[in-house]
Chains A and B, each alone.
Chain A
Amino acid sequence: MVTVIVDVEGAVRVLRDAKKLLILVGSRLDGDILSTVVKLAEGLGAKAGIAATGNTAAPLREMGIDAGKEWTAEVVSRMLHSEGDKPDLLVFVGFYSFVLSGVLSTLKHFASCKTLALERRRFENADFSLSEMSKEAWRDALMRIAEGVIR
């Protein structure tokens, strides 16, 4: 069952507890929120990687971030099949809900990693999820989470 994260500290704890995590940047992200996510990844240091899904590789490169282009389905497939050093936490931000619902369902039922949805709505199939909020509140929450992991 999903654990709904009601405060910024909850999200920060989940991110800090992960040994290795991958932040998947969804195709809806751009502008200042994308910068916040980069800040979040940087705050988490070497244990965090960024996977640029959708068309986000280009804006990330423009920001000087060499995040590899990834296909969400391939990331999911790797979590199911590949051996080796896999992330124990996948973090999703900026996805269309009709994409993320499906992705989280696959991971919940067939992969061993945990998932955290840093979206504007609650995703029942995530292990941890933010809940419904306005765009402004979401932007603010992401910013505070990014700051929280540095502290």
Chain B
Amino acid sequence: MTFLLPNSRNDLDTPVATVGKTSVRICDVVRDVRGIESIVKRAIEDPDFGWPERRLQQVECHLHIFPSAKELEDWDGFLLGRYPPVYSPKSSRCNDCMLGVCDLSRERGACGIDLKTKCARDSLLDACKGASQMISHARALLNEALKRFGRDKRISHGKNVRYPSINTMLFTGTPIYTLGDADDALRYAEEQLVELLAAASQESNVIDLESKAFHAGSMYLLAGEVAELVKEACFGLCSAADRELVELPNFPHFIERGIGALDLEKPVVLFVGNSFLVGIAAVDFVRASGLEDEVQICGVGQMGLDLGRYYEKTKNLGGALKVLRVLRAGIPDVIVVGEQCVPANILEEAKKTRTAVVAVSQNMSMGLKDRTDAALSEIANALISGEEAGVLILNPKKAAEVAVKVARELSRGRKKFELPGLEAAEKCDGCGACDDACPNDLEVSAAVLAAKEGRANELSEIYDDCLFCAKCESVCIARIPIVSLVLKAAVDKMRAERFKMRPGRGTPSHLEYRDVAYAFGFGTVSGMVAIIGCGAGNEQDVGYMVNELVDMNFLVLTAGCVAADIASFYNEVEKKHLYEAWAALLQIRGFLNCGSCSAFSHVARAFIKYNHLIARLPLLGNFEEHADYTLGKMPMGVIIWGPASPQLYAAAAGFARLGAPVVLGPHGWKFQRFLLGNVEDRSKWWAYDGFTGRKVEVDPAPPHLIIPVETKEEALTMITRLVFRVNDFRDGRMSKMDSYWSFYERFFNSIPEDFHLYVRADAELPWTRKHKMIRILGEKYGWDVDKRRGLIIRAKHRDGRLLTPEEYARDYGIRVGQYSTFLERLIIREAARRGELADADKKDEEW
């Protein structure tokens, strides 16, 4: 017998999807079923990723397959209502159309927009820029893979990956099993990007614009996942997916990080920006030619990580941001320059040290001659003789061979660290222009003046925090080569930089998830935190944060340039640098580097995967339910560390929409849009009791969705606060309270002023602090407590009432263990509650 769900409108004449004895009409579960009938049917019926029968009976199934931003407005609207955007505009002037320039600070522009709308449009544009960079990266890789292998090439996810392409499935309703599937998924992202860009100059509602910025963020993560899959499946990047659990703590191999790891007598080829295909080709060439012990293949930023996953002898020379440090010191003989994260003046900089440039992207061709069709020896000779400072070669294999050949020639007799002496500081008159220009607020002039007096120490200290942007130099009227002076003062430090790091290994494996799922689900692990980003000035900061979080029993992941920064942090207790101190596992007392910025998608994947593993949430076309569950239940958060780039803007939007709050620091204020909750406004903090449908006032958890902070200590404390969830289990709430309180006390010598908002019962107070907390609840917040016995007699509701624990549990927060949701359609149907629906198959009893 087929049981037809009550939300099905008519009869069974139209196609249905059936799970066990329960069916739904597929036209009822999506807005427009035309052309996607089979995808919708499978999205419900798929035994692994589809709907358990019980769940299908319980809630209104509504899928979003290939959705536009507008289709996800229920969720986006909820988020943006609770966490409204706060803007920090670069300028109040708008020159976006021919009617401008308009000053929006006092009135609307000629086109009718106000300043907030302009800010929201800029927000969408920033998110689109970030998404476009990742989509373009994924497209370049995918096109090459399609040419080499064809659409039918199977993508192996490895035996330890049960849920392939999770970011993608949530939106396309289809797992990626072939390159053709990847192509379809990426095409969807490309179409969405075009739509979003079109909206960026037309849409006039702030919430709609921010919802679209969210969508760009989701497309960013989707494209990142496609890029990672192609890199792993078609181009040989290492992945944990086929490894046994016992291998994982030491997987992947170590590579070396830092200039000190180089033999400066030997040729150095440095890969900058996204020059992935050329990098792989160069490694293949070096291997095939037996040059592995002679030619040193190095990367900064993305290439330092991706190449490391391919080639154990890769030398990682740090984050992309600081490429000038390496270049000015004359370390590389040749740089191979792709697109993204490349300084616009890199060609000029390379000329200063006579470093040959091989550009390999038509998006970053720097005015160089396209020599793709010239003979290899001809190109090489032009670069070796200096006749040409750089060339553009759009054939990866040829570019790779040219780079290696030229490096071998140029390295002969070439001096490294040819830097000016301190006498170059003599002309400094202390005008301070460099101080004003420095984006990191460093006290540059004092250091230069000290150098003038013969002291190099201050300059050497600048080295530790410097972004190597050279803005100071460009404003110095005395034309002092400040960056070179900083490097000169820090030559010994640079030579000593030699650390081990793991370059990234893609996704966590199913075994790891399974191993820790219980602890994570019930909350004995405080939370899962990803630290991603470009890195800021001081490399030690990120390592410090990782170390503290690991120590606090968080599950910690990382990806992006910060993964290289982490390598230099020394753990004083373990007496080891960080990658050697902790196991490479997504486990308590471990931390995991997923890879470069496309690997942010693995972080999102880890978040979503837990929802499926713990709650068995259907995956196909079911984004909203996952986001609802993450925000309501799963203690996940992201710290983005380093300057605001469009890619990070998009990533932040993608994570926030998924329900994982984001802390931005310390350059986070440059993001110009934050999503801040207002804890004082009680009307914002509610959730549905998922069983009764009652709308309940809840604790303000998490209090913000995207928030900037100023220090690493603030970042750590804030992230422990942002992993609170309304649906915490008892142990989870206890361990979060403990982490939050302990960071707060340690860093600020105070107690968290808002802790009482998260107290639901005395049984959830951490034992070691219980009596102090009880005392403060009584003395400061007016609760009726028994200090001697450590009990709450009557809790004080935010409306002022003193309530017994039972009354309090009823009127404030979600009862422990009770299902809750923020979306009305996910409240359990009345009929299901009354047990009037058909019995589900035994295997679905978990719901």
**CA A103 – CA B548 in complex, angstroms?**
28
Residue of A nearest to B704 (CB): A73
Among A26, A58, A103, A110, the residue within 8 A (CB) of B748 is: A58
**CA A52 – CA B714 in complex, angstroms?**
12
Given contacts A58-B749, A73-B674, A98-B439, contact A134 B432 (CB under 8 A): yes
Given contacts A78-B680, A81-B681, A102-B672, contact A97 B753 (CB under 8 A): no
Interchain CB contact under 8 A, A73 and B676: yes
- Closest-CB distance, B497 to chain A (whole angstroms): 26
Which of A53, A73, A77, A97: most chain B CB closer than 10 A? A73
Among B88, B747, B753, the residue within 8 A (CB) of A106 is: B88
**CA A68 – CA B748 in complex, angstroms?**
9
Residue of A nearest to B684 (CB): A81
**CA A56 – CA B174 in complex, angstroms?**
51
**CA A76 – CA B89 in complex, angstroms?**
14
- Is A62 part of the binding interface, using a Cβ–Cβ cutoff of 8 Å? yes
- Is B813 part of the binding interface, using a Cβ–Cβ cutoff of 8 Å? no
Interchain CB contact under 8 A, B748 and A55: yes
Chain A residues with a Cβ closer than 8 Å to the other chain, count? 40
- Closest-CB distance, A118 to chain B (whole angstroms): 16
**CA A97 – CA B750 in complex, angstroms?**
26
Residues from chain B with a CB closer than 8 A to the CB of A62 are 749
- Is B285 part of the binding interface, using a Cβ–Cβ cutoff of 8 Å? no
Indicate with 1 or 0, residue by residue over A111-144, a CB within 8 angstroms of chain B CB atoms. 0000000000100000000001011000000000
Residues from chain A with a CB closer than 8 A to the CB of B752 are 69
Residues from chain A with a CB closer than 8 A to the CB of B672 are 102
**CA A52 – CA B90 in complex, angstroms?**
26
Residues from chain A with a CB closer than 8 A to the CB of B666 are 96, 98-99
**CA A132 – CA B434 in complex, angstroms?**
12
**CA A109 – CA B117 in complex, angstroms?**
13
Interchain CB contact under 8 A, B87 and A106: yes
Range class of the B interface residue count:
35 or more
Interchain CB contact under 8 A, B714 and A109: no
Interchain CB contact under 8 A, B441 and A98: yes
Interface residues of A in 44-100 (CB under 8 A from B): 52-55, 57-58, 61-62, 68-69, 71-74, 76-78, 80-82, 95-99
Interchain CB contact under 8 A, A54 and B669: no
Interchain CB contact under 8 A, A69 and B90: no
Which of B679, B714, B753: most chain A CB closer than 10 A? B714
Interchain CB contact under 8 A, A121 and B436: yes
Interchain CB contact under 8 A, A82 and B714: no
Residue of A nearest to B443 (CB): A135
Interface residues of A in 1-29 (CB under 8 A from B): 26-28
**CA A110 – CA B432 in complex, angstroms?**
33
**CA A61 – CA B748 in complex, angstroms?**
9
B interface majority secondary structure = loop
- Is B429 part of the binding interface, using a Cβ–Cβ cutoff of 8 Å? no
Residues from chain A with a CB closer than 8 A to the CB of B669 are 98-99, 101-103
- Closest-CB distance, A79 to chain B (whole angstroms): 10
- Is B364 part of the binding interface, using a Cβ–Cβ cutoff of 8 Å? no
**CA A131 – CA B655 in complex, angstroms?**
40
- Closest-CB distance, B67 to chain A (whole angstroms): 31
- Is B474 part of the binding interface, using a Cβ–Cβ cutoff of 8 Å? no
Residues from chain B with a CB closer than 8 A to the CB of A108 are 105
Interchain CB contact under 8 A, A58 and B710: no
- Closest-CB distance, B536 to chain A (whole angstroms): 10
Interchain CB contact under 8 A, A55 and B714: yes
A interface majority secondary structure = helix
Residues from chain A with a CB closer than 8 A to the CB of B714 are 27, 54-55, 71
Interchain CB contact under 8 A, B86 and A76: yes
Residue of B nearest to A101 (CB): B669
Among B90, B674, B713, the residue within 8 A (CB) of A105 is: B90
Residues from chain B with a CB closer than 8 A to the CB of A99 are 666, 669, 708, 710
Residues from chain A with a CB closer than 8 A to the CB of B674 are 73
- Is B597 part of the binding interface, using a Cβ–Cβ cutoff of 8 Å? no
Among A52, A54, A109, the residue within 8 A (CB) of B105 is: A109
Indicate with 1 or 0, residue by residue over B428-439, a CB within 8 angstroms of chain A CB atoms. 000010001001
**CA A106 – CA B681 in complex, angstroms?**
20
Residues from chain B with a CB closer than 8 A to the CB of A58 are 747-750
Interchain CB contact under 8 A, B718 and A71: yes
- Closest-CB distance, A50 to chain B (whole angstroms): 13
**CA A28 – CA B115 in complex, angstroms?**
31
Given contacts A81-B681, A103-B88, contact A73 B707 (CB under 8 A): yes
Residue of A nearest to B754 (CB): A74
**CA A99 – CA B707 in complex, angstroms?**
12
Interchain CB contact under 8 A, B87 and A109: yes
- Closest-CB distance, B466 to chain A (whole angstroms): 14
Interface residues of B in 689-744 (CB under 8 A from A): 704, 707-711, 713-714, 718, 744
- Is B678 part of the binding interface, using a Cβ–Cβ cutoff of 8 Å? yes
Given contacts A57-B748, A77-B86, A105-B90, contact A71 B707 (CB under 8 A): yes
- Is B500 part of the binding interface, using a Cβ–Cβ cutoff of 8 Å? no
Residue of B nearest to A59 (CB): B749
Residue of B nearest to A27 (CB): B710
- Closest-CB distance, B453 to chain A (whole angstroms): 17
- Is B670 part of the binding interface, using a Cβ–Cβ cutoff of 8 Å? yes
- Closest-CB distance, B744 to chain A (whole angstroms): 7
Residues from chain B with a CB closer than 8 A to the CB of A82 are 678, 680-681
Among A81, A96, A102, A132, the residue within 8 A (CB) of B436 is: A132
- Closest-CB distance, B48 to chain A (whole angstroms): 42
Interchain CB contact under 8 A, A102 and B748: no
Residues from chain B with a CB closer than 8 A to the CB of A53 are 710
Interchain CB contact under 8 A, A106 and B744: no
Which of A55, A68, A78, A97: most chain B CB closer than 10 A? A55
Interface residues of B in 654-698 (CB under 8 A from A): 666-667, 669-670, 672, 674, 676, 678-681
**CA A132 – CA B445 in complex, angstroms?**
13
Residue of A nearest to B676 (CB): A77
Residues from chain A with a CB closer than 8 A to the CB of B680 are 78, 81-82
Residue of A nearest to B674 (CB): A73
Residues from chain A with a CB closer than 8 A to the CB of B116 are 110
- Closest-CB distance, B85 to chain A (whole angstroms): 11
**CA A27 – CA B666 in complex, angstroms?**
11
**CA A132 – CA B714 in complex, angstroms?**
28
Given contacts A74-B676, A106-B87, contact A68 B436 (CB under 8 A): no
**CA A105 – CA B86 in complex, angstroms?**
11
Interchain CB contact under 8 A, B89 and A61: no
- Is B160 part of the binding interface, using a Cβ–Cβ cutoff of 8 Å? no
Interchain CB contact under 8 A, B88 and A72: no
**CA A102 – CA B198 in complex, angstroms?**
28
**CA A141 – CA B89 in complex, angstroms?**
30
Given contacts A54-B714, A80-B86, contact A109 B676 (CB under 8 A): no
Interchain CB contact under 8 A, A97 and B678: no
**CA A96 – CA B670 in complex, angstroms?**
12
Which of A27, A62, A98, A135: most chain B CB closer than 10 A? A98
Residues from chain A with a CB closer than 8 A to the CB of B670 are 98, 102
Q: Across chains A and B, which 3 residue pairs bring their CB atoms closest together, nearest first?
A: A102-B669, A58-B749, A57-B748
Q: A27-B710, A54-B711, A78-B680 are in contact. List 10 more A-B contacts (CB 8 A).
A: A27-B714, A53-B710, A54-B710, A55-B713, A58-B750, A72-B708, A98-B441, A105-B89, A106-B88, A109-B92
**Between-chain CB contacts (< 8 Å), 27 pairs:** A27-B711, A53-B710, A54-B714, A57-B750, A58-B747, A62-B749, A69-B750, A71-B707, A71-B709, A71-B718, A73-B86, A74-B676, A77-B86, A81-B678, A81-B680, A82-B681, A98-B439, A99-B669, A101-B669, A102-B88, A102-B708, A106-B86, A106-B88, A109-B87, A110-B86, A135-B443, A135-B446
Residues of chain A having any CB pair with chain B under 8 Å? 26-28, 52-55, 57-58, 61-62, 68-69, 71-74, 76-78, 80-82, 95-99, 101-103, 105-106, 108-110, 121, 132, 134-135
Residues of chain B having any CB pair with chain A under 8 Å? 86-90, 92, 105, 115-116, 432, 436, 439-441, 443, 446, 666-667, 669-670, 672, 674, 676, 678-681, 704, 707-711, 713-714, 718, 744, 747-750, 752-753
